Structure 1
Amino acid sequence: MKRDSTSAEVDVRAIDVGYFNTKYTLGERTGNEIKAAMFQSLAPRQETSRGVENETKTTADGCWVSIAGVNYFVGRGAGVYVSPDEPRAFGEDYCTTDKYLAMARGALHYMAIDEKADELAINLLVVGLPCNTYAKFHERLAQRMRGEHLIGRNGQIERRITVESVRVVPQPQGAVVHWGSSTDLANAMSLVLDAGGGTFDWFVTKGRQALWQRAGAYPKGMLACASAVIKLIEPEWLNDHSVVERVDAAIRANAESFKVGQKTFMLANYRKTIDAVLHECIAKMISVAGRIDTMDQILVTGGGANVFGEFLRKQNPSIAAGVKIDKDPIYSNVRGFQVIGEIMHRQGAA
Structure 2
Amino acid sequence: MSKATPPIVRAIDVGYGNTKYTTSQRNIDTDAQVGLFPSLAPRATQSDFTGGLMSKADRIVVTVDGESYAVGADALTESKGIYKREVAAAYSTTRIYRALFLGALQKMRLSAVDYMVVGLPLTTYDRYADELKGLLTGVHEVPNPVQHDQILKVDVRRVKVFPQPSGAFYNYAVPRKLLETMQYQTNLVIDAGYGTLDWFVTEGARPLTGRCSATPKSVWAVISAVAEHIAPDLTLNPRTMQRIDNALRVGAALNINGREVNIAPMRPIVTQIVEDAINEMLLSIGNISDIDNILITGGGAHLFAGYVKKELGKSHSQIHTDADPVHSNVRGFQFAGEFWAARDANSRAAA
> Per-residue displacement from partner, 1:112-159 (whole Å, max 9, x unpaired)?
1xxxx5xx1111111000011000000110000011111249xx7521
Where has structure 1 moved over 6 Å in runs of 4 or more? none
Is the contact made by 2:10 and 2:25 (CA closer than 8 Å) also made in structure 1?
no
Please say if residues 172 and 201 of structure 1, whose CA atoms lie closer than 8 Å, have aligned partners that are also in contact.
yes
C-alpha distance in structure 1 between counterparts of 2:308 and 2:68, whole Å: 43
* From 301, 316, 326, the counterpart of 2:322: 326
Contact 1:26 1:35 in 2 (8 A): yes
Query: Which sits farther off after the overlay, 179-188 or 324-333?
Result: 179-188
Q: 1:174 aligns with which of 153, 167, 174?
A: 167
* Structure 1 segment 255-270 matched on structure 2, within 5 A: 255=251, 257-270=253-266
For structure 1, the 5+ residue unaligned runs are 1-7
Output the amino acid matched with 1:86: Y
Partner of 2:43: 45
- Equivalences for 1:1-350 in 2 at 5 Å? 11-27=8-24, 29=26, 31-46=29-44, 50-52=46-48, 54-59=50-55, 60-112=57-109, 117=110, 120-152=111-143, 157-181=150-174, 182=176, 183=178, 184-185=181-182, 187-253=184-250, 255=251, 257-319=253-315, 321-348=317-344
- The alignment partner of 1:318 has SS state of coil
Q: Following TM superposition, by how much is the alpha carbon of 1:29 offset from its aligned partner in structure 2, in angstroms?
A: 4.5
CA 1:292–1:41 in 2, change beyond 3 Å: closer, same or farther?
A: same
> How many Å apart are 1:189 and its aligned residue?
2.1
Task: Report if the CA contact (8 A) 2:25-2:334 is conserved.
Answer: no
**1:102 counterpart SS class:** helix
What TM-score, normalized by structure 2, do the two folds share?
A: 0.88
Are the structure 2 counterparts of residues 347 and 319 from structure 1 closer, same or farther at C-alpha, using a change threshold of 3 Å? same
Q: 1:260 to 1:29 in 2, by over 3 A?
A: farther
Q: Which region of structure 1 is more displaced relative to structure 2, 25-34 or 59-68? A: 25-34
Aligned with 1:162: secondary structure?
A: strand
Asked if structure 1 preserves the Cα contact closer than 8 Å seen for 2:246 and 2:252, the reply is: no
Question: How has the CA–CA distance of structure 1 residues 56 and 67 changed in structure 2, closer, same or farther, with 3 Å as cutoff?
Answer: closer
Q: 1:150 aligns to what SS in structure 2?
A: strand
**More strand as a share of residues:** 1
Deviation of the 1:103 alpha carbon:
0.3
Partners of 1:311 and 1:189 in 2: how far apart?
A: 21
TM superposition shift of 1:160:
1.1
Contact 1:312–1:320 (8 Å) recurs in 2 = no
Find the aligned partners of 1:280 and 1:66 in 2 and give their Cα distance: 40
Aligned-residue CA RMSD (Å): 2.2
Q: What SS class does the counterpart of residue 27 from structure 1 fall into?
A: coil
Q: Number of matched residues? A: 332
| Structure 2 CA distance for aligned equivalents of residues 319 and 248 of structure 1 | 31
Q: Which moved more, 1:174-183 or 1:54-63?
A: 54-63
Q: Is the 8 A contact 2:48 2:54 kept in 1?
A: no
The one-letter amino acid paired with 1:175 is A
